[in-house]
Structure 1
């Protein structure tokens, strides 16, 4: 199924994105890392990290892999 770019995302997708962002935030805090530190480890701007944690942006799988590695957790822990 192909979704047109102009079609809004279902509410459950946006809610899941926010939940994943919160899981990233919690894992980052548990690792005692700042958003700046994760950004430096990944090469991702701190503002982008903020957007991901608050569910405002949809990171690529590559970005999620970089973040998981920087935090030191399996990707599955961030997206379950």
Structure 2
């Protein structure tokens, strides 16, 4: 879990620097406190999904890109295959199958960007729950 926090923070820091922003400027754009930004970047705090959306908007970057870059950093760090290429499913119960059918049905009404965001959120949750 610590590495996941650190990689997410490093990703946010890299994106902020690419845009030429200070922590204070990012905090102002996202309506957050600069010390909270510093703690996220240092891997000391995990932002909520709402906060991640605020940061993504302030960085003018889709949430899915932030998650993908953090996952890529994690995969590189561990020398493991990228979770976005090799995510598998291993459902065994009727409950899991039902949830999958419901999600599939909901995806039919979503636009591509929303579907990709949902996929990335699910993968991030799966990754954070297994570490």
TM-score (norm 1): 0.81
**1:63 matched residue in structure 2:** 51
TM-score (norm 2): 0.50
**1:7 matched residue in structure 2:** none
Instruction: Extract unaligned runs of 5+ from structure 1.
Output: 1-12
Cα-Cα RMSD:
0.8
Alignment length (residue pairs): 68
Instruction: Extract unaligned runs of 5+ from structure 2.
Output: 69-131
Q: Distance in 2 between matches of 1:31 and 1:22?
A: 14
Q: Deviation string for 1:8-61 (max 9, x for gaps)?
A: xxxxx1101100100000001001111101111111100000000111011100
Structure of higher CA gyration radius: 2
Q: Point out 4+ residue stretches in structure 1 off by more than 4 angstroms.
A: none
**2:31 matched residue in structure 1:** 43
